[in-house]
Chain A
Amino acid sequence: MTLKLRDLSLKPDLFGTGHGLCAGCAESVSVRQILSALENPPVVALATGCLEVSTTRFPDTTWKVPLIHSAFENSATTIGGVDAAYKALVRKGRMEDRPLTFVVFAGDGATYDIGFQWLSGALERGHKFVYICLNNEGYMNTGIQRSSATLLGAWTTTTPSGDARPGKPEWHKDMTKIIAAHNIPYVAQAAAHNWKDLMTKVRKAEQADGPAFINVLTPCDRGWRFEPEKTMEVSQLMVEAGLWPLYEVVDGKYKMTGARQKKRPVMDALLSQKRFSHITKNADDATIAAIQAKVDEEWDALQALCEMSAAE
């Protein structure tokens, strides 16, 4: 199961060209990588979001795979229905039984906020599917509103920065751990810049015996306010500052993936994004200290979980 880019480049691209995502968008990079890493033919359900509106402009589609979209919140339930229908058709002999992978692509709004209950239900029912959360930390498609994935202190159009408030006042939801608490076979966190890590996790998720969830950090150059060519650099800085640790939870066992990750203060990552410019202009800002303290605390808690899992 080795991953070599030269081998992967021989496969036909399942996600085409000419979509309307912004220049430098990390979502299309991650989607292409995920689809080319899959070993079985995929069937995809989309939640409403940047990816859906930019790739399925009527009468065209960017996708070269079977695709279904019904509403914002219910992509997990939709793919659960696809899974159940496929099993029923195979049982009745109306469809050939062959290995397929059911995949959901949803944004952080559709995962953390709007589709949370539906996702939780689909995980509990144990449908076999791979849920990919393309996390750009906000409702970027509708104009950069805050979501429960947005970082503390970030500027968005609904959490403006000014004298009264320094951007978003709340800490974000730790969705990956919430999903891990559903006790499903495979949960992971990945980032757009690390293709090998992401593709390895996708293959593990595909082979998991039950539902799998991967939370992928996909930096948004419009919403995070950085130059389009910096997408991969910003993604790497977020990981190296400990704001987005790369880890996986296999059958309840936590494990960090890749080389040593946390090697920078959060300031380095915040400086690369102009959505934090109101707090990074002053190095002694209380919000930066609060972010650093919380990141350190969560990092230590995660390391403790990994050590506990390794000792078992």
Chain B
Amino acid sequence: MPEQQSSERPLWQQIQPGGIGVNPGSTERVQTGDWRTEVPVIDFERCTHCMICWVDCPDASFEVANAKLIAVDLKHCKGCGICAQVCPVKCIEMVPDSAENRETTDVNSGNGASSESAR
């Protein structure tokens, strides 16, 4: 059976019997970040890495490594703002979504100010 390409609609030969999904977590390719009107900006100077934003994020958009918060996944963050509300030290601020504001949090660009201060 030809390998299923998750980036395109599959051919009928590639569809499993019963339409069974074969790529766990494949909705990752969907850019739900397009929905966003506000973007979270984290002040890493004040962040205590308590992980409450991580556990309360509906879109699993907080990137963690070794039990430390490192960045926000802006490809999937829908900008709901729950993180800013639940943060106990109020170090997350929701600002209007713009290219400039995105750069400070964007994990994909890899050179944002936020990801730098986390390193």
Contacts and interface: CB of A to CB of B under 8 A. Distances in A.
- A and B pair up: yes
A136 interface: no
Interface in B50-103: 50-52, 54-61, 64, 66-67, 73, 75-76, 78-82, 84-86, 94
A232 B4 contact: no
B82 A18 contact: no
Interface residues of B, number: 46
B47 interface: no
Contacts of B56: 29, 193, 195, 232
B55 A5 contact: yes
A13 B80 CA distance: 20
B68 to A, nearest CB: 9
B81 A229 contact: yes
B30 interface: yes
A193 B86 CA distance: 9
Indicate the size class of the contact surface on chain A: 35 or more
Contacts of A62: 25, 27
B119 interface: no
Nearest to B64: A9
Given A8-B51, A227-B81, A228-B80, 8 more contacts: A5-B51, A5-B55, A9-B55, A20-B30, A29-B57, A59-B26, A61-B23, A229-B94
Interface stretch (A50-58, A145-153, A156-164, A207-215): A50-58
Interface in B17-58: 19, 21, 23-32, 35-36, 49-52, 54-58
Contacts of A20: 27, 30, 32
A89 B89 CA distance: 52
Contacts of B76: 17-18
A232 B85 contact: yes
B3 to A, nearest CB: 13
19 contacts: A8-B55, A17-B25, A17-B32, A17-B76, A18-B30, A18-B32, A19-B30, A23-B35, A23-B78, A24-B58, A28-B60, A32-B60, A55-B27, A60-B6, A62-B25, A195-B52, A228-B82, A229-B80, A232-B82
